[in-house]
Chain A
Amino acid sequence: MKLPVFFKNRMTEFSLSVIFVIGFLALVLTSNGVFLSRASLQGFLTYLAVPIAIGLAQMVVLCIGQMNLAVGTMGGVSCAIMAVLMADHNLPIWLAIFIGLFSATAMGAINGALVVLTQLNGFIITLGTYTILLGFQYRLVKTFTIDKYPSSLPEFGKRNFLGFPYILVIAIITAILLSLFFSRTIIGRRVLATGGNPLAARLSGVSNNRSIFIAHTLSGLLIGVASVITIASLPGINRSIGGDWLLASFAAPIIGGVLMSGGTIAIYGTVIAAGVVRLVDIARAQYSLDPSIVSLSVGVVTLSTVALSEWRRRRTERQNEGIKGLI
């Protein structure tokens, strides 16, 4: 029986869903139901949209076995571009959003082109572009908070559809489109093939360079979506935007079941893992713990997930070798 991509890697995603539900109920019980109030539920869902989008942006690059260290500054720069265009140059919102999406995509494309041209690991290239973009972000925003853009954008961020904020709906729709891209389109399948085994992909006629370029560009586009969500959900844009995105962007896909070695995607896993991380964040606020405890626990969980998944992979490999030996 053919299962949809959503349920392919069910174990991780099922257990994450259970953890999510249990964590949610625990929070509701320990807060005596305050967590279920309209305002706090709204806050939980609104700030879930960005982790989902940046998690997906990192996942796209992870699936070709690379990483994007520049997620934070790419998002920061495109947020800054949109805010400056709207506040200082009075551009209409739709045009600013379009330029924001376009510039993030272009930054991703530059990353991809540099990786292909130099044939170096994406990590070191994005470390370079990270630094350059950080400079641009500081230049655009300086030390101010830009908030003099039309208030209809933040108001849109507050509106909701059947209790779900519109921006979360945007993130979910993006996730669904991405899953269709990987499961239904030829380009998507080719990108996954490159990630799974570059040599085999090349021998079957897939251009690995093109896959790498597409993955980085797509990552840029998803970061663009994340920055549109950010600008709609925050009251103003300053230089700290994107500074805390890196860990979140890795945590969601890795906990969600994406292998660092490439070739796998887990879109539902990424979304639900982002939800679990968000619950940890809420719990921290509720029990008034120090923010560092969140990065400590998320870091430890990410590290152990990586170790565990790699151990599992090696075990299967060893078992397969055993079978080969029998034949």
Chain B
Amino acid sequence: MKFKKIFNDQRVVLTLLTIALFIFFGLRNYAFFNVDFVIYPLLRDGATLTVIGLAQLCVLSIGHLNLAVGRMAAVSALVAGASYQYWGLTLVQGAILGVLAGALLGAITGWIIVKSQVNAFIVTLAMDFALLGLVTFIYVTFTGATAAFTTKPAGMDYWRSKSLADFCLGPICGPKALPMMLIPAIFCLILVSFMFSKTRIGRELLSTGSNLRAAKLSGIPVENRVMTAHIFSGTLAGIGGLMLAYTNGSFTAAIGSQVMLPSFLGPVLGGTLLAGGAVAVLGTFIGTMMTLVIRQGLSVQGIGLETLNIALGLVLLLALSVGQIQKMFTSTKLREKK
């Protein structure tokens, strides 16, 4: 019986599926097992997209959506890049400034939603449009035709290209396949997971998401929690934006323009409900890795960008329908029991 219970866990199934897919693609083409060119970048992108997925998860927990995750990431990268280029700040100082910018944007978004009572996805969509213009405008005004901040602070390449193999405790070094970028991602995973499972704020967020009225009647400061969720989302999007920029090597307006779909794929595949009230923090990482394995696996097979898009869109729609079918099955089962 215990065996069956393990397989009922979506995360276990998803992990097994991801590993199976990985082995499948690897057997079709041995180049897929290459550490330097496939596994290392795969995990590095996975780390970044997991953080952005967590940014989406924070607002999904209260049943909202954040369509501006990518653009919040872009603003954070913009602020950090500007601080390196014009104010000569160090890597850490600029990064803190960038993350603060993300948090501030999240706070503004949350405030607009609470004050105007407009649907979150409309506010974040409009926010996305406004920030798109703003970010491009700033890059073009300050840097002209290059439209990028290219100053690299000391230590940026370390995060970008080093792995745990360079991180030694005495004689024992980490494996070469694990990128340094995994460290901030794991840090975020632990923090978000701790918040949702152990703290009061986390539980209040989840109950706000599962039933707003009930939460309000039980004395939860619902409006504050909406703000909280959006601030967390902005902060995590900011961290994700910095990770994207460090991986990219320069700060451009294109940062974050491709992350909207992946930011939903990770949490939703992992088992986060779109309607709010249930989150899957570790599932976000596994879901993100699965989509990346599919993407990378198909491109190693020599399949072009166009087919990748089709595959990813189908994965999203399938994941959503599977959740719906499950719900239908449970409701019919319940009816039969009655």
Q: Are B306 and A139 in contact (CB under 8 A)?
A: yes
Asked if B117 is at the interface (CB within 8 A of a chain A CB), the reply is: yes
Residues from chain B with Cβ under 8 Å of A303 in the complex: 112, 123, 126-127, 129-130
Total A-B contacts with CB atoms under 8 angstroms apart: 131
Residue of A nearest to B119 (CB): A260
Given contacts A128-B320, A260-B122, A296 and B112 within 8 Å (CB-CB): no
Task: Type the 1/0 row for A281-304, where 1 means its CB is closer than 8 Å to any CB of B.
Answer: 000000000111111111110110
Asked if A261 is at the interface (CB within 8 A of a chain B CB), the reply is: yes
Q: Are A292 and B137 in contact (CB under 8 A)?
A: yes
Asked if A14 is at the interface (CB within 8 A of a chain B CB), the reply is: no
Give, as a whole number of angstroms, the nearest-CB distance from A285 to chain B.
16
Choose from A118, A127, A260 the contact partner of B261 (Cβ within 8 Å): A127
**By the criterion of a CB under 8 Å from any partner CB, how many residues of chain A are at the interface?**
45
Q: Tell me the chain A residues, 55-80 only, with Cβ under 8 Å from chain B.
A: 67
Give Cα A295 to B135, complex, Å: 11
Task: Type the 1/0 row for A126-164, where 1 means its CB is closer than 8 Å to any CB of B.
Answer: 011111111111110000000000000000000000000
Residues from chain B with Cβ under 8 Å of A292 in the complex: 132-137, 140
Asked if A120 is at the interface (CB within 8 A of a chain B CB), the reply is: yes
- A114, A125, A137, A299: which has the most chain B beta carbons within 10 Å? A299
Q: Are A306 and B309 in contact (CB under 8 A)?
A: no
Asked if B264 is at the interface (CB within 8 A of a chain A CB), the reply is: yes
Residue of B nearest to A309 (CB): B118
Q: Are A306 and B122 in contact (CB under 8 A)?
A: yes
Q: Are B118 and A124 in contact (CB under 8 A)?
A: no
Residues from chain B with Cβ under 8 Å of A118 in the complex: 320-321, 324
Asked if A178 is at the interface (CB within 8 A of a chain B CB), the reply is: no
Q: Are A290 and B136 in contact (CB under 8 A)?
A: yes
Interface footprint category on B: 35 or more
Q: Are B313 and A302 in contact (CB under 8 A)?
A: no
- A123, A296, A311, A314: which has the most chain B beta carbons within 10 Å? A296
Give Cα A250 to B116, complex, Å: 19
Q: Are A121 and B274 in contact (CB under 8 A)?
A: yes
Q: Are B116 and A124 in contact (CB under 8 A)?
A: no
Give, as a whole number of angstroms, the nearest-CB distance from B313 to chain A.
3
Give Cα A121 to B122, complex, Å: 13
Give, as a whole number of angstroms, the nearest-CB distance from A295 to chain B.
4
Asked if A247 is at the interface (CB within 8 A of a chain B CB), the reply is: yes
Choose from B119, B306, B309, B313 the contact partner of A261 (Cβ within 8 Å): B119
Residues from chain B with Cβ under 8 Å of A291 in the complex: 136
Given contacts A118-B324, A135-B308, A138-B306, A298 and B129 within 8 Å (CB-CB): yes
Task: Type the 1/0 row for B270-310, where 1 means its CB is closer than 8 Å to any CB of A.
Answer: 00001000000000000000000000000000001111111
Asked if A310 is at the interface (CB within 8 A of a chain B CB), the reply is: yes
Choose from A117, A125, A247, A290 the contact partner of B129 (Cβ within 8 Å): A247
Give, as a whole number of angstroms, the nearest-CB distance from A102 to chain B.
21
Q: Are A302 and B126 in contact (CB under 8 A)?
A: yes
Give Cα A129 to B118, complex, Å: 25
Give Cα A297 to B305, complex, Å: 33
Give, as a whole number of angstroms, the nearest-CB distance from A187 to chain B.
26
Residues from chain B with Cβ under 8 Å of A129 in the complex: 313, 317
Given contacts A120-B324, A250-B125, A299-B132, A128 and B118 within 8 Å (CB-CB): no
Asked if A204 is at the interface (CB within 8 A of a chain B CB), the reply is: no
Residues from chain A with Cβ under 8 Å of B121 in the complex: 67, 123
Q: Are A120 and B133 in contact (CB under 8 A)?
A: no
Asked if A26 is at the interface (CB within 8 A of a chain B CB), the reply is: no
Residue of A nearest to B121 (CB): A123
Q: Are B137 and A293 in contact (CB under 8 A)?
A: yes
Residues from chain B with Cβ under 8 Å of A134 in the complex: 306, 309, 313
Give Cα A120 to B306, complex, Å: 26
Residue of A nearest to B310 (CB): A135
Residues from chain B with Cβ under 8 Å of A299 in the complex: 126-133
Give Cα A310 to B130, complex, Å: 19
Choose from A132, A136, A250, A306 the contact partner of B118 (Cβ within 8 Å): A306
Asked if B316 is at the interface (CB within 8 A of a chain A CB), the reply is: yes
Q: Are B129 and A135 in contact (CB under 8 A)?
A: no
Q: Are A295 and B129 in contact (CB under 8 A)?
A: yes
Q: Are A306 and B134 in contact (CB under 8 A)?
A: no
Give, as a whole number of angstroms, the nearest-CB distance from B136 to chain A.
4
Q: Are A124 and B264 in contact (CB under 8 A)?
A: yes
Residue of B nearest to A239 (CB): B306
Asked if B141 is at the interface (CB within 8 A of a chain A CB), the reply is: yes
Asked if B65 is at the interface (CB within 8 A of a chain A CB), the reply is: yes
Asked if A119 is at the interface (CB within 8 A of a chain B CB), the reply is: yes
Residue of A nearest to B307 (CB): A135
Asked if B164 is at the interface (CB within 8 A of a chain A CB), the reply is: no
Give Cα A133 to B307, complex, Å: 10
Given contacts A138-B305, A138-B309, A296-B137, A128 and B130 within 8 Å (CB-CB): no
Give, as a whole number of angstroms, the nearest-CB distance from A9 to chain B.
19
Residue of A nearest to B327 (CB): A119
Asked if B97 is at the interface (CB within 8 A of a chain A CB), the reply is: no
Q: Tell me the chain B residues, 250-281 only, with Cβ under 8 Å from chain A.
A: 260-261, 264, 274
Residues from chain A with Cβ under 8 Å of B123 in the complex: 303, 306
Residues from chain B with Cβ under 8 Å of A290 in the complex: 136-137, 140-141
Give, as a whole number of angstroms, the nearest-CB distance from A134 to chain B.
5
Residues from chain A with Cβ under 8 Å of B31 in the complex: none
Give, as a whole number of angstroms, the nearest-CB distance from B129 to chain A.
3
Residue of B nearest to A308 (CB): B116
Give Cα A135 to B313, complex, Å: 9
The 8 A-B residue pairs with the shortest CB-CB distance in the complex, in nearest-first order: A296-B133, A299-B129, A135-B309, A131-B313, A132-B313, A299-B130, A292-B136, A135-B310
- 16 inter-chain pairs at a CB distance below 8 angstroms, sorted by A residue, are A114-B317, A124-B264, A124-B274, A125-B320, A133-B313, A135-B308, A137-B306, A250-B125, A290-B140, A292-B132, A292-B136, A292-B137, A295-B133, A297-B133, A300-B130, A306-B116
A292-B136, A296-B130, A297-B133 are known; give 10 further A-B pairs, CB within 8 A.
Answer: A120-B320, A137-B306, A139-B304, A250-B125, A295-B129, A299-B128, A299-B130, A307-B116, A311-B116, A314-B117
